[in-house]
Structures are given as structure tokens and as C-alpha cells.
Amino acid sequence: MIIRLQNIIVLLISVAGALCAAVDLPTPTPPDRPRIQERNVADFRRVVARRMNAALDYLRGTQNDDGSFGSHQVHLQTGLAILAFLSQGAVPENDTRSPLPAACRWLLLNSGENGFLGDGDCPMESSAVAALALSETLGMLPDHELDRNVAQRADQALQYALSVQDKAQGGEYTGGWKADPKRENNDRRVTAWYLLFLKSMEMRGRQVPEASIKRGLAFLACSQKLPGPAPQYDKADLGGFSYDAAGLPVVSITAAGLACMSLFDFKIANRNLAMEWFNRHPPIWYGPNFYDTYFFATRGYVREKNRGAAPAQQADEFFSRIWQILSEHQNPDGSFEVPPGNAENTHVMGKTYATPMAILILNAERNLMPIDAVD
């Protein structure tokens, strides 16, 4: 009976992975794993740097002749590639082969002045990622005219983001961003990407309404399972975030919640509960949304560790586990694989999606992207 039940759970998770905006089911508690030995930080960083250079070389070789990356959801993949190079410090100033100028030109030529930068599939997430890439690139392009054009498009993207945010108050189901303008419901993962973009633009001196940030954070926070008189949650669920306000916690939304609460220094008690939830649900090589999840989770952990809020040993074990997982799935050519259980469109994007995401995850501790340098 137990084996049959486990098979049914795996089947349900696989079906969920076939959807574009796949909603990951509550994460099952993995079996106990051997304790990861404390790493030598200097040696660890040297190994990571070598692996990341190989990954960047692979990614550089996949850039299309027109400057874009990938063949499916090209806006998303081009934005992620830009961010990956930034996270490695590979900017035009110190990289004569930098793909960033050509990638930025492609985004400018293939987006509208209304500020939308997305793909046909998963349009709002891809638009947020591409907008974040342009914002993070500002001031790093040697071509001053290109830099001005990128700044103009990033400003247009900011106005677009503010215009499409749900203006309703309440938090449980309102205040965020949709995955698709045609859909009725807001999406917490997409909201997290937009909050990162808003913060990035704010760091560049743009005026971002405080009310917009508060609404987005409230929408995320209202799905966290907190202790209190009612409702009562199972102890294993405390601290986790759910896709819908009343649902069970899932790893991708908990990661997005932790990253954004940490970025905006929102309620340390809530952040601690989210990290405790992750202690009970350590990383595993399985989807859906594996790469999004650990893009956000690593950034939350880094910021909390730097503040002294996350115990160093706890954070190091988290990063060691992530490194162990990803290093086992890096190919000899430097690329990374997509884990099982992800959405069909993620598998279609394949290694040109997985590789920049893996770079971004493993470079989170380096704080080389402007958004990562926020205290």
C-alpha cells in the first residue's frame, strides 16, 4: 500500500510538471542524508570558479548570431544569460569577448516601447527577467549610446511593471503580478521576479512607489504558514509559503518569499521561519521549478548569512548540498542538465536555460551582480 501511494504521488508531480507555469506540489521530506563535511571555503571557491568558467565558455558558444540566446522563450533565456555573465563579473570592461552588448541590442530590437519584454510563453515572468537584466547592466556598457537606450527601455519596463501590478488591497489574492495578463489570478513566483526588478531600478535612482513594493510583499507574505491561534498548521508546514494563500507550502514559493523578504528586510521572524522550513526540506535534484527555486533560496540565505541572521554552519550546509547536486549534473562541456519533473517548456529550453541558472545559483555568494550587493 505504501509503495502504491508513493507511485501515485510521483505520477501527480510528473503531471504537474507538464504545465508551463507548473505549480510544485508540497515537497516530500527526503530521506536522511549523510552530513556534508565542512568545506574549505578558499578551495571550494577555486573549484566553483573553474566550473563556472567552463559553464560561461559553453554559454558564450551558444549565443545566436543576432545576439540572443536559445531557440525557445528567447527573451527569458537572453535575460538569464546576461545575468549569468554579470554574476561572474564578466562585463565588457574586463571581458573583450563579452556577449552583453549584442544581447542587450537584441532585447531592445525585440521589445516594444510600452516596456513589455516577454515571450509568448510565460510572458510576464520572461518580461520581468529581461527587464531585470537590462537594469542590472546599466552603466556597464562601453557604448554610451547603447547604455542610454538600455536605460530608456528599462525605464519603460518599470512603468509597464507598475501599470500591470494588481492595485487591489488585501494580500491573500491581490497585490501581485499575473503569470499571463489573460489569467485572473496573481502569481507569487512572477511577483518575486518583479520585486527584484523594482529593487534593481530603485538602486539606480528611479522612483519606485513604496505602495507597490508593500503590495507585492504583502501578497507573498500572506501565503506563509505562521504560528498562531487560527488557523493551525502542521508543524512541518510552519514557515513555508504556498502557491495559493490557503494551500500547502511548496519549495519554489518559499524560496521566492525568503529572497524577497530578505531583500527588503521584511520581518526577521518570518525569514527565520522560512529558513527553518528549508532545514526540514533540503535541496533535492527534482522539479518542477528547480532552478528558479534555488536562484531565490541561495540569495535569501546569502543575505541572511551576511547579516548574521542565518547560522554560518546552516548556510554552509545548504550551499554545500546545492554544490553537490549541481556538480554531479554538470557535463564535460560545462553545461548543466535539467532535472526530472520540470515543466515541458523547461525541458525544451534545456541546457541553454539550465546553464545560466546554475551559474546564477553558484555565484550567489560572490555578490557581483548589483542586486546581490544589497545589504
Least confident of 10-14, 172-176, 206-210, 235-239: 10-14
Residue 169 has pLDDT above 80, yes or no: no
Which tens digit of pLDDT belongs to each residue from 255-282? 999 999 999 999 999 999 999 999 999 9
pLDDT band of residue 310 (cuts 50, 70, 90) is confident
Q: Which three cell numbers stand for residue 206?
A: 528611479
Which tens digit of pLDDT belongs to each residue from 59-77? 999 999 999 999 999 999 9
Provide the pLDDT for residue 326.
96
- Cis omega (within 30 of 0) for bond into 356: no
Own/partner contacts of 196-200, CB < 8 Å, gap of 24 or more, are 196/128, 196/132, 196/259, 196/260, 196/263, 196/371, 197/128, 197/131, 197/132, 197/135, 197/157, 197/158, 197/161, 198/158, 198/161, 199/263, 199/264, 199/371, 199/374, 200/132, 200/135, 200/136, 200/370, 200/371
Name every residue whose Cβ is closer than 8 Å to that of residue 319 and which is 6 or more positions away in sequence: 298, 301, 365
Least confident of 7-11, 112-116, 288-292, 311-315: 7-11
Provide the pLDDT for residue 231.
63
pLDDT band of residue 171 (cuts 50, 70, 90) is confident
Q: Which three cell numbers stand for residue 264?
A: 527588503
Residue 23 has pLDDT above 50, yes or no: no
Provide the sign of the torsion angle of the four alpha carbons 110, 116, 117, 121, taken in this order.
negative
Fold of 40-373: Glycosyltransferase (1.50.10)
Packing angle between helix 290-307 and helix 312-327, nearest 10 degrees? 150
The residue ranges of every structural domain in the chain are 40-373
pLDDT band of residue 375 (cuts 50, 70, 90) is low
Provide the pLDDT for residue 335.
98
- Alpha-carbon Rg for the chain, nearest whole angstrom, is 20
Residue 20 has pLDDT above 80, yes or no: no
Provide the pLDDT for residue 40.
62
Which tens digit of pLDDT belongs to each residue from 214-233? 999 999 999 999 998 766 77
Can you tell me whether residue 241 is helix, strand or coil?
strand
Averaged pLDDT for residues 171-179: 90
Tell me the sheet residues that pair with 187: 177
Identity of the amino acid at 210: E
Output the average pLDDT for the chain.
Answer: 88
Q: Which three cell numbers stand for residue 53?
A: 568558467
Asked if 19 contacts 346 with a C-beta cutoff of 8 angstroms, the reply is no
Taking the model in full, what pTM does it have? Answer: 0.88
Residue 312 has pLDDT above 50, yes or no: yes
Residue 44 has pLDDT above 50, yes or no: yes
Percent helix, strand and coil across the chain, each to the nearest 5: 55, 5, 40
Residue 94 has pLDDT above 90, yes or no: no
Residue 1 has pLDDT above 50, yes or no: no
Averaged pLDDT for residues 279-306: 94
Residue 158 has pLDDT above 90, yes or no: yes
